[in-house]
Chains A and B, each alone.
Chain A
């Protein structure tokens, strides 16, 4: 059926507005990061930098702690993602393929982890980490991020494993393969898209997290990028050019990762939500 002209116009107007709203802050971040200090504080502000310069990037890269924090963020995000995936693979396989007493309770226990308010567990978690001597260590942050990404990872992977026909595994078991062997040689390769989706979710969540890092990483040897960004902002004086350059440095890697994996990731996330 043909759409009336007014409908088409409305769609284009809506799409244009949507693009502007979503893209504008990001574009403004880019534009501001390329401006000279003087131009940044000029009224009226210019839409395009008059003398585009990389000096903000240079000062972030050579005169701040950002490179160190970038490295910390990479180590912590990769570490917690790998650990979360390993635990989630086994747990999801157990939930997807076996019946056992208390399974429903165990599954809801894992999901409740997703519902707990951060504020409610942050104090005891801090005390626990202090007791384990893990405050201001990579391991402490890796553990914390692993548990906050674990619930949704288990949820997503369980639905992926369920979608793989068990008959494929049964044949291998008859041939004498072990359960773990079957999991690694048959189930995992088949659920690779799901695995990638979960990994992207865990990585991006960890990369972006601010509050836990603020509490558990007070030493610059373990601080992550979000903390570095907040450090540029002081009460009386903010170097907005550097802030915007650091924001770009922090955003572009995850945005690229996310956009390249978008189909997989969104598919994995929505699979669970629309089945019910």
Chain B
């Protein structure tokens, strides 16, 4: 018998564990999605059932809002924060440490604290808005159909824009200084510098970070589940929560698996399109 290569031997334990606890469940999801509770083959029945449910398209739509709304603001605020933290000013070190706090606070703690702040009667946000005259009456942030999803998105933005800031800041610090000096010789303003030097240079970081944020947002259940469990009236029900409820509240494991397969496929198509689109864009830019 040929001996296994040394490198593979080192990697083997991790690969075996990953296969057992990742690859196997993935394959198993596929099997569950085409069988019934007794394990008999049912073809596309689970898929038909789950797609016919009224909440499914609603959940897809909510998921798109959730992912899109979160990411746009996370990227804009994160990049702005990184540019700010890259300036020299006294106390910069302390501000940098404080800026990572939202990211470090456990997700469930962020969710409950914001739920308390958004409280209709006793919440500090409504108090500040009514006492300053911004709002006439307290707003039911977590019960009003127009505000509940934006409130969830706001929490998600607060939680993750520091991560964007950290990554972009690292990118900013690797930009050679002579690029800025050349721009200044040409009389560039702060905005010219940002637009023509800084942003193009951190593009690769922004691309990588956006991809991560998309995956995380598609994955993220904690904030919404902890506060609204997908309600009221399914207004914040995103697909991951629908899968979770199908599986662990209604014990429809096979339908949950079918929805997982659909969700996984759509998510991977989005990720693949994104990578492809940006790879092409990168070629043109060169």
A interface residue numbers (CB < 8 A to B): 1, 7-8, 11-12, 14-15, 18-19, 21-23, 25-26, 28-29, 32, 40-45, 87-88, 90-91, 93-95, 97-103, 106, 109-110, 112-128, 143-144, 146-147, 150-151, 154, 179, 204, 207-208, 210-211, 215, 225-226, 229-230, 232-233, 240, 243-244, 247, 250-251, 254-255, 258-259, 262, 266, 269-270, 273-274, 276
Interface digits, B107-139 against A, CB 8 Å rule (1 contact, 0 not)? 111101111110101101001000100000000
Are B122 and A41 in contact, CB atoms less than 8 angstroms apart? yes
Cross-chain pairs A/B with CB under 8 angstroms, 9 sampled: A1-B184, A45-B122, A100-B6, A110-B14, A119-B219, A120-B264, A123-B257, A240-B119, A255-B101
User: A247-B112, A258-B100, A273-B208 are contacts. A94–B11 as well, Cβ < 8 Å?
Assistant: yes
Question: Which residues from B are CB-within-8-Å of A26?
Answer: 101, 105, 113
Chain A binding surface, main DSSP class: helix
Contact with A along B50-73 (1 / 0, CB 8 A): 000000000000000000000000
What number of residue pairs across chains A and B have CB atoms under 8 A from each other?
Answer: 274
CB distance from A100 to the nearest CB of B (A): 4
Is the pair B104, A19 in contact by a Cβ cutoff of 8 Å? no
Are the C-beta atoms of B105 and A251 separated by less than 8 Å? yes
A117 to B167, CA, bound (A): 22
The answer for the CA separation of A116 and B17 in the assembled complex, in Å, is 16
Residues of A within 8 A of B22 (CB): 112-113, 116, 121, 147
Cα of A22 to Cα of B8 in the assembled complex, Å: 45
Q: Is the interface of B mostly helix, strand, loop or mixed?
A: helix
Q: How many residues of B contact A (CB 8 A)?
A: 91
By beta carbon, the residue of chain A nearest B16 is A87
Q: Does B43 interact with chain A (Cβ within 8 Å)?
A: no
The interface residues of chain A lying within 8 Å CB-to-CB of B261 are: 120
Q: How far is the CA of A8 from the CA of B92 in the complex (A)?
A: 13
Contacts of A25 in B (CB 8 A): 102, 105, 110, 113-114, 117, 158
Q: Which chain A residue has the least Cβ–Cβ distance from B24? A: A128
What is the CA–CA distance of A90 and B14 in the complex, to the nearest angstrom? 8
Q: What residue of chain A has the Cβ atom nearest to residue B170's Cβ?
A: A270
Tell me the bound Cα distance from A18 to B268 in angstroms: 35
In the complex, are the beta carbons of B84 and A87 less than 8 A apart?
no
* Complex Cα–Cα for A270 and B202 (A): 13
Given contacts A117-B215, A150-B17, A210-B225, 15 further A-B contacts (CB under 8 A): A18-B95, A25-B158, A29-B109, A94-B6, A100-B5, A103-B7, A103-B8, A113-B18, A121-B26, A147-B17, A150-B14, A208-B107, A215-B244, A229-B108, A244-B113
